[in-house]
Amino acid sequence: MTTTLSDREPENLRAQDRGRVVLVVALVLVAAQVTIRAVLAGAGEFYWDDLILIGRAGTEPLLSESFLRYDHDGHLMPGAFLVAGLATALAPLQWWPAATTLVLGQAIASLAVLRVLWLLLGARRVLWAPLLFYLLTPLTLPAFAWWAAALNSLPLQAALAWVTGDALQYARTGRRRHLVSGVIVTALSLFFFEKAILVPFVAFAALALTYRVDGRSRPIRTAARRAAPLWLASALILAIWLGFYVSTVESRFGTPTAEMARGLSIHGLSYGLLPALVGGPLQWARWNPGPPWADPPAALVFVAWAVLLGTLAWSLRRRQRTGFVWAATAAYVAASMVAMISTRFGPGTTYELAQTLRYFADSAVVVAIAAALVLRAPRRPSATTIPVPVRRTAAAGLAALFTVSSLWSTVTFTRSWTDNPTGEYLAHARDGLTSRPDVAVLDHPVSVWVLLPVTFPHNLVSSVFAALPDRSDIAGSTTELRVLDEVGALVPADLLAVRWVDSGPEPGCGRRVEPGITTMLPTGPMLEATWTVQLNYLASSDGEIEVGFPSREPARVAVTAGPSTVYVRVPGGGEGVQVRTATPGLSVCIGAGPVGVVVPR
């Protein structure tokens, strides 16, 4: 019996309807995920490196090389600094611009993942499975909620999906727009995160594996030939970027001990990555001011390993030519693991670092693409056919279980993440620093619950609040001692004495500082640190003096005619503090006073 065109029309219409349903459901899933992430972003606040980014945005010109080309703990990320600078300029120290960039970045990444899955699987319901995984997996939560991490991770996730899609399209159609798009997105992703060097390699592997599961001969050679201009352009971009990176960033790569490598690997895989793949970890642990880390129950770790091994056995037994898909995915995860271990190990490193998940967030995109390739692969002829109703029921049950587990992990993460004192600290500090803008505040570190001293000098009030408008001047000296306390309130302070400047040999004057002469104020031995000295002086006129330890650059301090007191921040150490006048004709008498550390009263 001959099939006519009119007979095929209803079938084509039904296929179009199915395609619309698949697309609409997929877009609804994306919208739901972005909404959930928007709630998480709205509940968040600045944390740790975020304050370094906005602090530098307040102290450096937006488009300056010193701002954009900065080695941030081994990261070269001018794009991230540019976004942070624009957000800070729009609303200094306000969270909503940062939260907006998080939501927009997540929406772009999720749509890019939907696009590549559509190109791999077409308008088939099976597309919902890898899409649902990417959208809901807790694997991407920590790198999303932390703004500084998201400025690295979200562009990388978007680029991995988008450039892979461009490679598939360019190989199929040869249209130049896909070549141009792939090259531009690759270049842009490198401006946000150095790990984006893997983007072209993932795109090449995905294209070659697509040919492999489709049964094409010589898939690697075919992938290289069909998209050769894209690979050559990407290689040129990587070469240029590599020179830029090497000339800017000090290498953090090293060789850890075998015990450290083993511990981080086990914790990262068994307690971090694998539970997140099945919707875990269900619960999180945290030691403020550190970030939350996955803390899965032992039963979930066992289930995660069982699911992994079971899925591997199922795909190898029922789907043709999927072994290389698993190998490529494992290689990507291993590369992420090696990068983390070789750059973040050290005497103070704990194994829980690997359980923070942010080092594996981009693996969610790779796993989603790998799942799509497995689902694209043809069934083995020998595989037992499972009835459609049974397959659909099982798929729906697994999807529901994964969704519930992932949402619960999201809820528990949000509870842990919002246990963050930074927001309250910044709010109090903004009020205090703008209450009396005419009185300078002596520069000092912020609370250790906000930034630890290891981040010096970015932990100083002068850095964190550099962009805050209408605030007090944050200076190296002040006539009124005030500090931000543990919750950020600006309160009166006292100088806790460690040493003393003596009363000096000259009655009624103490120690005289004459023009052109450097005078030593003996204190006794003091260790290298940042100290505050209280100068009780009598000045002949208004002017400036220079104060500091001999080994350090002195601070310039304004003095007024007559008797007064000024508190001066003096980094360094030694047997005494040097003072000399910086204003011609100025002479100053300095009496006894303490040298020590400033504490809230």
What CA–CA distances, in Å, run from 268 to 142, 184, 362, 528? 14, 33, 14, 39
Examine residue 551 and state whether it is found in any structural domain, yes or no. Answer: yes
Assess whether pLDDT exceeds 60 at residue 524: yes
Residue 1's pLDDT is what?
45
Examine residue 476 and state whether it is found in any structural domain, yes or no. Answer: no
Contact status, residue 265 vs residue 341, Cβ threshold 8 Å = yes
Question: How confident is residue 161, by pLDDT bands cut at 50, 70 and 90?
Answer: very high
Mean pLDDT on 193-216: 97
Instruction: Report the percent of the chain where pLDDT is more than 90.
Output: 87
Assess whether pLDDT exceeds 60 at residue 7: no
Say whether both 214 and 343 belong to one domain.
yes
Q: Using N-to-C axis directions, what is the helix angle for 199-213 and 228-246, rounded to 10°?
A: 150
Residue 385's pLDDT is what?
74
Residue 15's pLDDT is what?
64
Residue 388's pLDDT is what?
75
SS3 labels along 110-143: HHHHHHHHHHHHCCCHHHHHHHHHHHHCHHHHHH
Contact status, residue 196 vs residue 190, Cβ threshold 8 Å = yes
Nearest in space to 484 (alpha carbons), one of 437, 430, 421: 430
- Whole-prediction pTM: 0.93
Examine residue 487 and state whether it is found in any structural domain, yes or no. Answer: no
Rounded distance between C-alpha atoms, residue 364 and residue 370, angstroms: 10
What is the sign of the dihedral through the CA atoms of 83, 85, 87 and 93?
Answer: positive
Residue ending a domain, choose from 384, 417, 450: 417
Examine residue 398 and state whether it is found in any structural domain, yes or no. Answer: yes
48-100 per-position pLDDT tens digit: 999 999 999 999 999 999 999 999 988 999 999 999 999 999 999 999 999 99
274-325 per-position pLDDT tens digit: 999 999 999 999 998 899 999 999 999 999 999 999 999 999 999 999 999 9
pLDDT mean across residues, the chain: 93
Say whether both 398 and 505 belong to one domain.
no
Say whether both 25 and 137 belong to one domain.
yes
Question: How confident is residue 383, by pLDDT bands cut at 50, 70 and 90?
Answer: low
- The CATH number for 567's domain is 2.60.120.260
Domains contained in the chain, number: 2
**C-alpha 411, offset from chain centre:** 21
Examine residue 480 and state whether it is found in any structural domain, yes or no. Answer: no
Within a 10 A sphere around the Cβ of 490, how many other Cβ atoms? 23
Say whether both 516 and 368 belong to one domain.
no
What CA–CA distances, in Å, run from 245 to 83, 191, 359? 19, 10, 20
Say whether both 539 and 402 belong to one domain.
no
Which amino acid is residue 151, in one-letter code? L
Assess whether pLDDT exceeds 70 at residue 9: no
Residue 170's pLDDT is what?
97
Assess whether pLDDT exceeds 60 at residue 13: no
Examine residue 462 and state whether it is found in any structural domain, yes or no. Answer: no
Mean pLDDT on 465-482: 95
Say whether both 399 and 511 belong to one domain.
no
What phi and psi, each to the nearest 5 degrees, are found at residue 536? Answer: -95, 110
Q: Per the structure block, which two tokens stand in for 179?
A: 């070549």
Q: Per the structure block, which two tokens stand in for 436?
A: 């009396």
Residue 251's pLDDT is what?
79
Question: Would you mind telling me the total number of residues written for the chain in this entry?
Answer: 601
Assess whether pLDDT exceeds 50 at residue 217: yes
Residue 6's pLDDT is what?
52
Residue 319's pLDDT is what?
92
Quick check: helix, strand or coil at residue 109?
helix
The angle at the Cα of 471, spanning 468 to 475, to the nearest 5 degrees, equals 100
Contact status, residue 487 vs residue 424, Cβ threshold 8 Å = yes
Instruction: Report the percent of the chain where pLDDT is more than 70.
Output: 97
Residue ending a domain, choose from 417, 436, 453: 417
553-576 per-position pLDDT tens digit: 999 999 999 999 999 999 999 999
Residue 148's pLDDT is what?
97
Question: How confident is residue 38, by pLDDT bands cut at 50, 70 and 90?
Answer: very high
Contact status, residue 418 vs residue 294, Cβ threshold 8 Å = no
Say whether both 399 and 538 belong to one domain.
no
Assess whether pLDDT exceeds 90 at residue 531: yes
Examine residue 245 and state whether it is found in any structural domain, yes or no. Answer: yes
Say whether both 391 and 523 belong to one domain.
no
Q: Using N-to-C axis directions, what is the helix angle for 199-213 and 147-173, rounded to 10°?
A: 40
Which amino acid is residue 430, in one-letter code? R
Residue ending a domain, choose from 394, 417, 440: 417
Residue 5's pLDDT is what?
46
Q: Per the structure block, which two tokens stand in for 177?
A: 């727009």
Rounded distance between C-alpha atoms, residue 572 and residue 531, angstroms: 8
Say whether both 129 and 248 belong to one domain.
yes
The angle at the Cα of 411, spanning 409 to 412, to the nearest 5 degrees, equals 65
Say whether both 504 and 381 belong to one domain.
no
Assess whether pLDDT exceeds 60 at residue 3: no
Say whether both 506 and 399 belong to one domain.
no
Examine residue 343 and state whether it is found in any structural domain, yes or no. Answer: yes
Say whether both 246 and 365 belong to one domain.
yes
Q: Write out the residue range of the structural domain in which residue 250 sits.
A: 5-43+94-417
